[in-house]
Amino acid sequence: MAAGLRSTARSREAHQAARRLMPGGVNSPVRAFHAVGGEPLTLESGFEARVRDVDGNDYIDYVGSWGPLILGHAHPEVVEAVTRALRLGSSFGAPTLAETALARRLVEALPSLERVRLVNSGTEAAMSALRLARAATGRDLVVKCAGGYHGHADGLLVRAGSGATTLGTPDSPGVPAAYASCTLVARYNDLDDLDGLFRAYPGRIAAFILEPVAGNMGVVPPVRGYLEGVRELTRGAGALLVFDEVMTGFRVAWGGAQVLYGVAPDLTCLGKVIGGGLPVGAYGGRADLMARVAPEGPVYQAGTLSGNPLAVAAGLATLEVLSRPGAYERLGLLSERLSEGLRGVFLEAGVPSYHTRVGSMLCTFFTPGPVADYDGATASDAALYAAWFRAMLEEGVYLAPSQYEAAFVSLAHRESDIDATVEAAARALARCVSSS
């Protein structure tokens, strides 16, 4: 794609109209491009590995709706499944065979998942899992990692406090200090930091919730032994281990990171891929814990559209395609080709960078690295990332509009897409460097 010849006039008009009606002109903040400058593209359609904006420009897509579209856009089996379900009725608010089938698929794929509850988002999944953990342990405090994101429930919007004894402070107005003070913050990949929290608050911590592969500070894999150590520390402290696999679930492996690394949490949160682009979240785990969830037990959680037939149909169709032999090998080969290609481009250009990948989620940090936690990630040159992001858009490549997100490869990407992306990256980087 020739650089600089892309008109985005209609996107700009659309965004101005949207801003008059919706905060920031978006329905989720990161979409507004505030971290990278410029105005967001208004997209009109997606097909396989590409999206098209309202000006008719096509882009190779590595956002994939922030993870769900592991099959690419408008996969025919997903379209057919949702269409078929819609013809039978969009929602009943009653049990259906399809939601039981999805529940069975999830339980069979994740050994730690003995029972599961379907919800509508990752936020609901994480919020509900922590309510259950507090009920089961009778404890109020929870631990999250600095740079970990688990949706926007009040108690989880807590600024990185890091440090062993720091009580969380709200990351957003509107969150009562009392809520945030029940959230402690640990450094990711640091067992001593977590151990320090358990020693500082003996018998008071209900759960430690973490992304087993951090994906919201860029992609930061667990260092060797970290997840096993976390498992032992939580067990020894009588706290529950909650893996937030909303992003990693069925992304990094069939099942997710807990299968890839062989560490079994007490509770798991899921979302994104299991809904195939429609709203599905889930939380589940040990049967004795899930028996506490209403209506079987006293822990209340509900949802009008939970287990919705359309969303469940999209999820089942997506998991069906992913379950076929060779799917994850293909995702790994394409993703390695991209990651290594980008590494070579940055090396050739002499631009300091640190490249991470787990399965088909990957990240290019604009820092020499290594990056093992939030401090390492935020050492990146976010301004240079932003310039590269904009130059890549002009080259026809749609990356995440923030250094602190993941890039996602889908089964719809081809080697030719990957190679075109690497070539575009070299041109984009050259322009960034020459103009800086």
Binding site for ligand KE4 (CB under 6 A): 28, 30, 66, 121-123, 126, 149-151, 211, 215-216, 244, 246-247, 271, 281, 405
Q: Which residue in 201, 261, 272, 385 is the catalytic one?
A: 272
Q: Which residues contact 351 (CB under 8 A, 6 or more apart)?
A: 366, 384, 429, 433
Q: Which residues contact 126 (CB under 8 A, 6 or more apart)?
A: 150, 151, 153, 156, 209, 242, 244, 246, 269, 283
Q: Which is nearer to ligand KE4, 98 or 126 (CB)?
A: 126
Q: Which is nearer to ligand KE4, 144 or 431 (CB)?
A: 144
Residue 53 bears catalytic tag:
no
Rounded CA-CA distance 358/338 in Å is 12
Angle at 414 between CA 408 and CA 417, to 5 degrees: 75
Q: Which residue in 53, 61, 244, 266 is the catalytic one?
A: 244
The position carrying tokens 């499944």 is 81
Q: How far is the CB of 66 from ligand KE4 (least distance, A)?
A: 4
Q: How far is the CB of 388 from ligand KE4 (least distance, A)?
A: 19
Residue 375 bears catalytic tag:
no
Q: How far is the CB of 127 from ligand KE4 (least distance, A)?
A: 9
Q: Which is nearer to ligand KE4, 345 or 407 (CB)?
A: 407
Q: Which is nearer to ligand KE4, 260 or 351 (CB)?
A: 260
Closest C-alpha to 382, from 364, 357, 396, 398: 364
Q: How far is the CB of 15 from ligand KE4 (least distance, A)?
A: 16
Q: Which is nearer to ligand KE4, 130 or 317 (CB)?
A: 130
What does residue 109 show for φ and ψ, rounded to 5 degrees? -85, -30
- Amino acid (one-letter) located at 331: L
Strand-pair partners of 142: 183, 207
Q: Which residue in 59, 61, 144, 149 is the catalytic one?
A: 149
Q: How many Å is the maximal CA-CA distance in the chain?
A: 63
Total Cβ atoms within 10 A of residue 96 = 18
Burial of 169 (0-12, 13-18, 19+ CB in 10 A): middle
Residue nearest to ligand KE4 (CB): 122
Q: How far is the CB of 5 from ligand KE4 (least distance, A)?
A: 30
Q: How far is the CB of 153 from ligand KE4 (least distance, A)?
A: 9
Residue 144 bears catalytic tag:
no
Rounded CA-CA distance 408/64 in Å is 6
Q: Which is nearer to ligand KE4, 314 or 345 (CB)?
A: 314
Which residues participate in catalysis according to the annotation? 149, 244, 272
